[in-house]
């Protein structure tokens, strides 16, 4: 037990990768064995992170369960991991969504072995980002996660769909989407990579806690420029990398493509966790490393956030593809996370105004909770889209209609999940969005006001989605014969159950999770 507790983070982090290695040696036609091994293997990190959650002391400041081992001594990078309330929440989200997504992919029949291996590698990649306390380790895991996702999209993505490029060149849509995802993210990370290298050269360390202090204390000139200028450039390099991942308008265009083409479980993880990596980067790196620049450019960030909220909602409303509708809703919802971050940035580091500080805290708490909540509801929504797509082989909203009587259980689940996404009081989305808006209001009043108008359209597109699928005149095509729509099955209900329970629990009693988040964001910067 002592060993377990003292190496808890490493165990959580590397267990999925080890399991992937084990699966590599299983025979590829034993599909059932592979599926169950993967599922069980992903439940263990979940159990461990629940243990982590119970042993975590939410009243203590700083990082806990810290482990540090030598790694790349020549460039002074160590394998340094640790959790605070922020990373703990995200790690829990990741370890929760992975087994759910693996269970959701039990219907995958093609090359199950490779699929499961990639999925478990992906989990290690994502967890590494959340747990890293060394800038280089952060980057290592940040990039590693791209590879499995790329292959999940272009190998198991939807087979239909052709994209016409310039000069009439045709390309399979999933290939287009996966390459765009990869190149977009890698290009976005270039600035991050270069800025990280610069920090490493400057301080001869990549250790985050010491960088927080030394980088902020730096003054004078650097490479022939004032430090403030260098910091501003580096700030934007970080911001662009993370904004692409979040994604923030106008860097969001890879997202609808990637989501639409990805296999169902891929979309669940993409929306549920991968987008959070970007927001986490803002919180873990941008705010603490660049408080002054963040304060200076808070207005610009808020502007982008509001654009994401408003345009995301409009774009979502305009879609006829169910999956694309849900994809754009992510842009809309993640906009609130950024709005909360921008509000906190605007208040700045040591503001003496008590009321503003309170608002800042509320906004940050809301932003982190919104990350968690969006993870739950987006994963749920994508799964539900997947469920109906698997039965009907269409995602076109105009092909559905009036399905509620045919599939009442599915309909009920879809409505509940949609309502969480819409922000219905009593469900989780309301809590976090309210907190963001409450926190941001006194700080960025006009932006918040516009964002709330955007919220109106959130309601509109979600109701549109529900209406087109469940209500209205029944499309007779699905009512009879071989096309008769079948009800959601037991496995699919088991996938949805934990998500729905959490949606409800957080909606009614958010204190248990906010307690953990609050201390972390107060310490954050």
Give the interface with another protein as residue ranges (CB under 8 A): 70-75, 136, 139-141, 143-144, 147, 150, 154-155, 172, 175, 179, 182-183, 186-187, 190, 193-194, 197-198, 200-201, 223
Rounded to the nearest whole angstrom, what is the least distance from the CB of residue 226 to another protein in the complex? 15
Instruction: Take residue 414 and report the two structure tokens written for it.
Output: 């879809």
Rounded to the nearest whole angstrom, what is the least distance from the CB of residue 101 to another protein in the complex? 22
Rounded to the nearest whole angstrom, what is the least distance from the CB of residue 172 to another protein in the complex? 8
> Half-sphere exposure (CA, 13 Å, Cβ side) for 68?
14
Residue of 313, 305, 377, 318 lying closest to 344 (CA atoms): 305
| Nearer residue to another protein within complex by CB, 128 or 272 | 128
Rounded to the nearest whole angstrom, what is the least distance from the CB of residue 237 to another protein in the complex? 10
| Nearer residue to another protein within complex by CB, 145 or 335 | 145
| Nearer residue to another protein within complex by CB, 197 or 475 | 197
Residue of 267, 257, 199, 206 lying closest to 233 (CA atoms): 199
Dihedral of CA 102/382/271/182: which sign?
positive
**How much is the CA Rg of the chain, to the nearest whole Å?**
22
Rounded to the nearest whole angstrom, what is the least distance from the CB of residue 252 to another protein in the complex? 19
| Nearer residue to another protein within complex by CB, 71 or 389 | 71
| Nearer residue to another protein within complex by CB, 74 or 490 | 74
Dihedral of CA 477/483/489/493: which sign?
negative
Residue of 263, 256, 266 lying closest to 308 (CA atoms): 256
| Nearer residue to another protein within complex by CB, 194 or 300 | 194
Rounded to the nearest whole angstrom, what is the least distance from the CB of residue 167 to another protein in the complex? 15
How far is CA 149 from each of CA 380, 408, 465, rounded to the nearest angstrom? 19, 34, 27
| Nearer residue to another protein within complex by CB, 197 or 216 | 197
Rounded to the nearest whole angstrom, what is the least distance from the CB of residue 223 to another protein in the complex? 6
Instruction: Take residue 253 and report the two structure tokens written for it.
Output: 């265009």
Q: Mark out the alpha helices in 270-353 (DSSP H runs).
A: 275-281, 287-289, 291-296, 298-317, 322-347
Q: In the 8-state DSSP scheme, what is residue 352?
A: -
List 222's β-bridge partners, or say none.
225
């Amino acid at each position: 037990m002592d060993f377990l507790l003292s190496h808890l983070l490493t165990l959580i982090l590397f267990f999925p990768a080890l399991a992937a290695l084990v699966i590599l040696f299983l025979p590829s036609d034993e599909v059932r064995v592979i599926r169950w091994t993967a599922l069980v293997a992903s439940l263990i990190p979940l159990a461990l992170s629940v243990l982590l959650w119970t042993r975590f002391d939410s009243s203590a400041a700083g990082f806990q369960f810290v482990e540090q081992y030598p790694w790349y001594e020549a460039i002074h990078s160590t394998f340094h991991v640790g959790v605070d309330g922020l990373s703990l929440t995200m790690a829990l989200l990741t370890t929760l969504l992975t087994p759910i997504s693996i269970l959701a992919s039990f219907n995958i029949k093609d090359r199950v072995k490779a699929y499961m291996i990639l999925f478990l590698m992906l989990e290690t990649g994502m967890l590494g980002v959340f747990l890293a306390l060394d800038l280089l380790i952060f980057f290592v895991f940040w990039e590693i996660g791209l590879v499995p996702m790329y292959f999940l999209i272009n190998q198991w993505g939807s087979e239909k769909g052709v994209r016409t490029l310039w000069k009439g060149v045709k390309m399979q849509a999933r290939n287009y989407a996966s390459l765009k995802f990869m190149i977009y993210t890698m290009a976005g990370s270039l600035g991050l990579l270069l800025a990280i290298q610069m920090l490493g050269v400057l301080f001869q360390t990549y250790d985050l806690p010491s960088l927080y202090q030394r980088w902020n204390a730096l003054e004078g000139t650097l490479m022939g420029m004032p430090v403030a200028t260098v910091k501003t450039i580096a700030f934007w390099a970080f911001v662009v990398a993370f904004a692409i991942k979040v994604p923030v308008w106008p860097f969001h265009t890879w997202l609808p493509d990637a989501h639409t083409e990805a296999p169902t479980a891929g979309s669940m993880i993409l929306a549920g966790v991968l987008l959070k990596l970007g927001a986490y980067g803002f919180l873990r790196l941008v705010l603490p490393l660049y408080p002054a620049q963040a304060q200076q450019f808070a207005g610009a960030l808020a502007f982008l956030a509001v654009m994401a909220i408003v345009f995301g909602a409009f774009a979502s409303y305009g879609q006829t593809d169910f999956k694309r509708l849900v994809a754009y809703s992510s842009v809309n919802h993640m906009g609130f996370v950024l709005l909360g971050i921008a509000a906190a940035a605007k208040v700045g580091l040591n503001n003496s105004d008590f009321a503003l500080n309170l608002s800042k805290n509320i906004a940050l708490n809301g932003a982190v909770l919104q990350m968690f909540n969006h993870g739950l509801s987006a994963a749920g929504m994508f799964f539900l889209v997947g469920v109906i797509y698997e039965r009907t082989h269409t995602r076109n909203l105009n092909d559905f209609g009036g399905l509620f009587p045919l599939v009442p259980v599915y309909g009920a689940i879809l409505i509940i999940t949609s309502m969480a996404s819409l922000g219905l009081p009593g469900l989780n989305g309301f809590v976090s969005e309210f907190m963001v808006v409450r926190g941001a209001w006194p700080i960025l009043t006009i932006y918040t006001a516009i964002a709330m108008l955007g919220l109106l359209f959130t309601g509109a597109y979600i109701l549109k989605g529900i209406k087109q699928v469940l209500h209205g005149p029944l499309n007779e095509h699905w009512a009879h014969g071989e096309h008769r729509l079948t009800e959601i099955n037991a496995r699919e209900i088991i996938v949805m159950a934990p998500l729905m329970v959490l949606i409800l629990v957080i909606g009614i009693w958010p204190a248990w999770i906010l307690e953990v988040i609050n201390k972390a964001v107060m310490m954050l910067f």
